[in-house]
Structure 1
Amino acid sequence: MVEQAIYTTYYSSPVGLLEIKVNEEAINAILFVNTWKGPKLDESSLQPNPEKNTIAERCTQQLSEYFEGKRMTFDFPFRQDGTAFQLKVWNALLDISYGKTISYLELSKRTGDVKAIRAVGTTNGKNQLCIVVPCHRVIGANGNLVGYGGDLWRKKWLLDHEAKFANGVQTLGGW
């Protein structure tokens, strides 16, 4: 198997800098640069590849539209590698409507195994395509915000943002 070149660019969003990785075929990762999981980076030192990439440009355009409240789904090519179970969970995330939330229990039911709730939660946390594969739309069974690799403040911001444009409200729940 021939390894494909990876193109990296950065997108400055309302919830922080996003690192976008793409090969010749699809976006492979959209990750928050500074989260609780890793060391804080000096964002001014991060440099994107100097050449242009049309898939990355489409991605950043659609992310801009999302943050402006003009886009609820994404149609650029994206793909992340994983086990059959992981792919099943990540595909189930794509079925959660914009502005809506489900619990980890409901997500495990949608993947066909209610007893796999911990594995579903772990897989949700390994999602490499934040915002686009909407792992932020999964909350605790009691309605609390739990478990977001991009930090809970970002999860709250994304859910409030979507609620504002989907439902015409400023915030969801009591978050």
Structure 2
Amino acid sequence: MKITDQPTIARYYQALLARDASYVGSFVVAVKTTGIFCIASCRARKPKLENVDFYSTIKDALYAGYRPCKVCCPTENASAAPALVRQALALLKAEPKRRLSDSELRQRGLSPASLRRWFQQHYQMTFQSFQRMYRVNLALTELKSGRALLDTALDSGYQSLSGFNYMLRQITGASATQQQERGMIVMKRLTTPLGPMFVCASERGVCLLEFVERRALETELAELQRRLGATVVAAENTHTEAAEQQLGEYFAGQRQRFELALDTPGTEFQRRVWQTLTEIPYAQTRSYQQQAERLGNAQAVRAVARANGANRVAIVIPCHRVIGKDGQLTGYAGGLERKRWLLAHEQQFSD
């Protein structure tokens, strides 16, 4: 989204002049005279205010036709957490069951306002809400591992099971006993050259890999929870660790085929389409028509396109390799510029 609110533009421009790293991820600035876009902390010479546009995300700037700055490398660095966020997360992980108040954050030289802004931008919640969810997720993990319910409740700071159950119902919609019977989907945020992504995995395998700003992400997560009978928690397991490693190798040009366990609920037809996607060789493309023909139904082009659009595991299930019959790039949930980048990346590292 292009930012048009004048007070916001004035604040962002001052942050740009000051190279304020706490604003990294809050906006990107596009320079109309050069056609490039940068992050707040860019070291390049600062443009005049009348020569810039501000956008909420990298995707918005790419859609507007701007290309990444070679000085600040926004597609690589805009998604990296700034130092104050890394420090706050380190404090949280060191003592996950202790609440960090705003006054304590200030005593440690951390700005609660900057943390709030960054977490609202990247997680759609405040840092205090993130802390609360982190403690809930830790409790759920302990319950899943077989720890006694009363011990988990008391260790989480609750004086009774009723208070603990009330908190779980408010946040997850299920009691502690119900949570013990449900599955768990762990979710982790990854940094990639194309912007941040969320990877989710059940005990069986990766079930989602999407760019964080995808509009349908909330709907996809709700659908996964329903289909898998599971609760999404901010954590990681062996499947998310493998996905992070292999995705890093892919972006480095060191991997052409993924070897990940997948857990992708869908209709029989959708699963067949997704399987056919994985059979498209690295650095090659297929049309929707060709995909339909490979499935044995040349008339099912639109159905194939819809199933492609329902793919929740980007890159690993490579729907970016499907193009129009005329060779033109067509719809991609991550944006056509990302699709173009992925295809060019694979061409660069193909054998």
Matched with 2:246 is: 62
1:19 counterpart = 2:198: yes
1:4 counterpart = 2:4: no
1:115 is paired with a residue whose SS is coil
Q: How many residues align?
A: 157
1:74 counterpart = 2:253: no
CA distance in 1, matches of 2:236, 2:195: 22
1:5 is paired with a residue whose SS is strand
CA distance in 2, matches of 1:89, 1:74: 17
The structure 1 segments of at least 4 consecutive aligned residues displaced by more than 4 Å after TM superposition are: 36-39
Whether the aligned pair in 2 keeps the contact of 1:16 and 1:34 (CA below 8 Å) is no
Shift of the alpha carbon at 1:3? 3.4
Matched with 1:136 is: 320
Q: More helix by proportion, 1 or 2?
A: 2
Matched with 1:91 is: 275
Q: Deviations over 1:113-142 (max 9, x none)?
A: 110100000100110000000000000011
1:99 is paired with a residue whose SS is coil
Whether the aligned pair in 2 keeps the contact of 1:104 and 1:140 (CA below 8 Å) is yes
Q: Deviations over 1:70-120 (max 9, x none)?
A: 001111211211111001100000110000001010011011111010000
CA distance in 2, matches of 1:74, 1:83: 23
Whether the aligned pair in 1 keeps the contact of 2:258 and 2:316 (CA below 8 Å) is yes
Name the structure, 1 or 2, with higher relative contact order (CA <8 Å, separation 6+): 1
| RMSD (CA atoms) | 1.7
Which of these residues, 90, 111, 125, is aligned with residue 309 of structure 2? 125
Shift of the alpha carbon at 1:13? 0.6
Whether the aligned pair in 1 keeps the contact of 2:210 and 2:217 (CA below 8 Å) is no
| Amino acid corresponding to residue 198 of structure 2 in structure 1 | E
Unaligned runs of 5+ in 1: 40-47, 168-175
Whether the aligned pair in 2 keeps the contact of 1:36 and 1:150 (CA below 8 Å) is no
Which of these residues, 299, 304, 308, is aligned with residue 115 of structure 1? 299
1:8 is paired with a residue whose SS is strand
CA distance in 1, matches of 2:343, 2:263: 23
Unaligned runs of 5+ in 2: 1-180, 219-232
Which of these residues, 273, 278, 284, is aligned with residue 100 of structure 1? 284
Larger radius of gyration: 2
| Amino acid corresponding to residue 255 of structure 2 in structure 1 | R
| Amino acid corresponding to residue 191 of structure 2 in structure 1 | S
Q: TM-score, normalised by structure 2?
A: 0.43
